[in-house]
Structure 1
Amino acid sequence: MSYGKSITVYLMDGDSSQRYQVTLDNWNIKAYKIPVGLVAASNSLDSIHTAGVYFLFGYVEGQKSVYVGEAEDVYWRLTQHIPEKDGYIWDNAVVFIASEIGVLDKARVKYLENRFYNIIKDANSYRLLNRNEPTKSTITKYSEDAMEVVIDNIKLIIPVLGYTPFENLISESEFSSENEEIFYIKNTKLQAKCRFNLDIYMFNSDNPQSGLMPFTLLKGSQISNVKSSLRKSLKQLRQECIDSNAIKDGILQKDLRCFDSASYVAGFVLGRSSNGSIELRTNDGQTFKDWLAKRQNNI
């Protein structure tokens, strides 16, 4: 028989864009969600200097990414994750630590790290940033069973914080290419081209957490310089593409399938805040907004 469970979410700084504390009733492990810019300010959080398992969430070339790790002092370990050294950028850490001494120790958190690595790898919905599979510690059957309960509870809590690294996603290849259209972004300085899949777009309207991307910016598209109005996430994506040579001399070197809205495509290409419903047009000049309305009316 299944029973209901109560999860308490506390906005520690009174702002949904900052730190969270999450607890599950009758469970002696708590979670913190900590933005990268607030790690230094989290030195005094309860139990943050004890053993735990943690996840670093971000984006790599527009794809959702995660690093899973463990530490005997979670706070100290978070301060060691430096983009220049790690080779990737992360936005938020989600850490799980015990409020009672002995519940999590080095052997147990290493067991959790290995299990989560393999669960995320099998799901294949996030890019896993660990370079190697973590060593799986040998623990007693009693401890193993206890850690499997921890895993089940963490699987409940992570989606509450906006992440789904454990869920198997439907592949884009399962959708037909019959309802695809090519859209262009053109001005006097550049031309870019993207492919749009209507079936994926409609699927996402009922499944907003699917992770499927209906827009693919195509190789050879010309990319403008960044303006101040471009949102932070797109600036980061542009920089990652430049660093990896996916953008070279202002030209996209490979197809980029990481956009869930027309405005994200337009903003990425034009380097500024943009209305993709108008900026994206078919070869005969029809706006994305008008094209989509006509197709949806015929469904």
Structure 2
Amino acid sequence: MSSRPQTIKIFLPDGSPTSIKEAEITNRLVKALLFPRNKLQEVAKRDLIHFTGVYFLFGNSEEDAKSIVYIGEGEDCYSRILSHNRSKDFWTHAVVIATKTDEYTKTDGKFLEYYCIEQAQHINRYELDNNTGSRKPSLSESREYDLLDNFETIKVLLATLGYPIFEEKRKSKDKKELFYCQINDANATAELTDEGLLVHKDSICSSKTHGQKDDWAAGLRKKLLEQKVIIQVGNNLVFQSDHIFNSPSTAAVTVLGRRANGWTTWKDKQGRTLDELKRK
């Protein structure tokens, strides 16, 4: 669905581009409602938030190694989010997904929750705050295909609102412009994307971390190890999945275990730096 041109309408109920947003693809039934946590009382006036659907709570970890998401469902999404307002600290924004005419059943919501959790785990862009997975409910074959079609709309709307939770990190296998960080025992490969620098799976980090134990580089590595983005293989630290960093320097710091300027550290096969090729 996302490979063809589409028209997406975004409505700002209070006129602020950083506040509440309603988004929809003009010829689809599914609609998204995004709001900051501090607008929880104001958003209660919107009909959509009280509909049956699936919702996402988004936030960041302290080290910012990977953003966090909680995925849930509810017959009245607002009441469910209110309970999380008391019990979960991490989230700063929420997105509610429902149909414009409140057509989802409880079972539909359960299926979307199940499938969204499954896909989020597979794509592995966000750290899931859900303690357990969701069980797949019993649905007719035709209804399941309807909801899978709805999921494609959900995927596009979330990415449009700034949360590409279901977008593949590497969208094609076409030949890419690759950059390398090969210093001492580090041997990493990456590509520049719309979202930042994507370090490829199987890239090897320097085995040492320089500086103090509480240094930013050590803290970032520790978080990635906890999330199993990086794993210990013998004496090496190896990326076990592709990982997007918001800047080349953050990626270089992780790979080298020390402070580094990523724009001059990452080079192509001809030895030209990222800075030479992309900023001059």
Q: Tell me which interval the TM-score lies in, with the shorter structure as reference length.
A: 0.5 to 0.7
Aligned length: 237
Partner of 2:233: none
Question: TM-score by structure 1 length?
Answer: 0.63
Are 2:52 and 1:66 equivalent residues in the alignment?
A: no
Partner of 2:132: 132
Question: Does the C-alpha gap of structure 1 residues 259 and 147 become closer, same or farther in structure 2, counting only changes over 3 Å?
Answer: closer
Question: Does the C-alpha gap of structure 1 residues 130 and 298 become closer, same or farther in structure 2, counting only changes over 3 Å?
Answer: closer
* Partner AA of 1:74 in structure 2: C
Secondary structure of 1:47's aligned partner: helix
Taking the TM superposition and a 5 Å limit, the aligned residue runs for 1:243-254 are none
Distance 1:298 1:212 in 2: 17
Distance 1:211 1:67 in 2: 25
Are 2:82 and 1:79 equivalent residues in the alignment?
A: yes
Are 2:261 and 1:261 equivalent residues in the alignment?
A: no
Partner of 2:181: 179
Query: Deviations along 1:96-134, whole A, 9 cap, x unmatched?
Result: 122214x10111100110011111111122212211111
Are 2:169 and 1:169 equivalent residues in the alignment?
A: yes
Name the larger-Rg structure: 1
Are 2:119 and 1:119 equivalent residues in the alignment?
A: yes
Distance 1:135 1:211 in 2: 35
Contact preservation (8 Å) 1:71, 1:109: yes
Partner of 2:198: 212
Superposition RMSD on alpha carbons, in Å? Answer: 4.3
Give 1:58 deviation, angstroms. Answer: 1.9
Partner of 1:104: 104
Distance 1:68 1:76 in 2: 15
Distance 2:97 2:244 in 1: 29
Question: Does the C-alpha gap of structure 1 residues 14 and 259 become closer, same or farther in structure 2, counting only changes over 3 Å?
Answer: same
Question: Does the C-alpha gap of structure 1 residues 290 and 258 become closer, same or farther in structure 2, counting only changes over 3 Å?
Answer: closer
Are 2:42 and 1:56 equivalent residues in the alignment?
A: no
Distance 1:23 1:35 in 2: 18
Give 1:164 deviation, angstroms. Answer: 1.6
Give 1:80 deviation, angstroms. Answer: 1.3
Distance 2:262 2:121 in 1: 36
Distance 2:250 2:94 in 1: 25
Q: For structure 2, list consecutive stretches of 5 or more residues without a partner in the other structure.
A: 171-176, 227-236, 238-242, 252-258
* Partner AA of 1:107 in structure 2: T
Question: Does the C-alpha gap of structure 1 residues 135 and 6 become closer, same or farther in structure 2, counting only changes over 3 Å?
Answer: same
Contact preservation (8 Å) 1:9, 1:22: yes
Q: For structure 1, list consecutive stretches of 5 or more residues without a partner in the other structure.
A: 183-194, 226-236, 245-253, 266-279, 282-286
Question: Does the C-alpha gap of structure 1 residues 50 and 211 become closer, same or farther in structure 2, counting only changes over 3 Å?
Answer: farther
Question: Does the C-alpha gap of structure 1 residues 178 and 122 become closer, same or farther in structure 2, counting only changes over 3 Å?
Answer: closer
* Partner AA of 2:246 in structure 1: D
Identity among equivalent pairs (%): 25
Give 1:89 deviation, angstroms. Answer: 0.5
Are 2:149 and 1:149 equivalent residues in the alignment?
A: yes
Secondary structure of 2:54's aligned partner: strand
Distance 2:122 2:277 in 1: 38
Give 1:295 deviation, angstroms. Answer: 4.7
Distance 2:16 2:249 in 1: 26
